[in-house]
Amino acid sequence: MNIINKTAFILSTIVSLNGFSQGWKGYEWDVFPVDRRWRQGGLTGSLGINYTLGYPGQQQKQTAQLGSFQFENDYQSVAKGKIGLNAELGWFHSFKKPFYFHFFDVMLSWKWFRTQQTAQYSQYFNNNLLDQQSFELPWNAHTLGLSLNLMNQYPLSPKSFFLHGPGLNFDYPFITSGVSKPLTGLEYYGDMPVQIQLHYKVGLGFVIKDRWLLIPMLESPIFQIIPFTHIQSTLNIMYCRYRPFLLQIKIMRLRKQKNDCPPVFNPGGIDPKTYQPEKKE
């Protein structure tokens, strides 16, 4: 997919989600974060898995002709995705007067990314195979991150809602491990650098208890800021590119308003609506 098509695809996806949240009338019930029984902020966290989807690998040929003798070197890489883990903990805050986004959250995160790839070298003489070598290159990284996310929400029922929105993600790889066997015929991307990316999230929320929300969410990067690689938003590891998808279960805990007081102790069972004090003579 070239740059123009990829940009058009990203923009059309975002516009479609925006149109859904604006055009779908949904229900009129008060569902978070519209329901003002709750305070505007609270704790939130998530646990989940990630999958590094591999892009087609590199393939290069080097040929040389010497009279009737032909030499050829073939280099290729094949990406294989793997499942990793991720977790987040942070704070959310809903807006009293939403302008478009209903709430934002600030999250600290840990992610464990894993990949696998095969690098292969083949040497031919007059189309006859002389030598072939293949290397299995596992790789993984633990990252610490910080993200700021803006979310648009729309109620679907009294107990469910749809939400989506962009997020700015910073990831610092503090532990990386892998096998690197550079081949001269392929571009070597190296290890995972410090990254700042724009992500997009979609989710479906459920009220599982009066003060607890359960939100399955899917997230993936859509634009890379640092290091800037044109319109790419992938992880470039050794000889291959990967697109991470993060699937997580988000929990949000709502807090009651300060004026939500418990019932007053009333041993006599007096109804304040009908009670009239006795008049003194």
Take residue 47 and report the two structure tokens written for it. Answer: 């646990």
CA 224 – CA 221 distance, rounded (Å): 7
HSE-CB for 203 with a 13 A CA cutoff: 29
State the residue for tokens 């610092």: 172
| pLDDT at 263 > cutoff 50 | yes
pLDDT in tens, 16-41: 545 444 444 444 445 555 455 556 78
Closest C-alpha among 202, 209, 252 to residue 45: 252
pLDDT in tens, 49-89: 999 999 998 999 989 888 888 999 999 999 999 999 999 99
pLDDT of the residue at 135 = 86
Cβ(80)–Cβ(117) below 8 Å = yes
Share of the chain above pLDDT 90, in %: 44
Closest C-alpha among 29, 50, 77, 38 to residue 253: 38
State the residue for tokens 């015929």: 185
pLDDT of the residue at 80 = 93
- pTM value is 0.77
pLDDT of the residue at 163 = 93
Close Cβ partners of 24 (under 8 Å, ≥ 6 residues apart): 154, 162
CA 74 – CA 278 distance, rounded (Å): 102
Secondary structure (3-state) at 37: coil
pLDDT in tens, 189-202: 888 889 999 999 99
| pLDDT at 276 > cutoff 80 | no
pLDDT in tens, 219-255: 999 999 998 876 778 888 889 999 999 999 999 988 7
Task: Kindly indicate the confidence band of residue 178, based on its pLDDT and cuts at 50, 70 and 90.
Answer: confident
DSSP annotation of 11? H
Q: Taking all residues of the chain, what is their mean pLDDT, rounded to a whole number?
A: 82
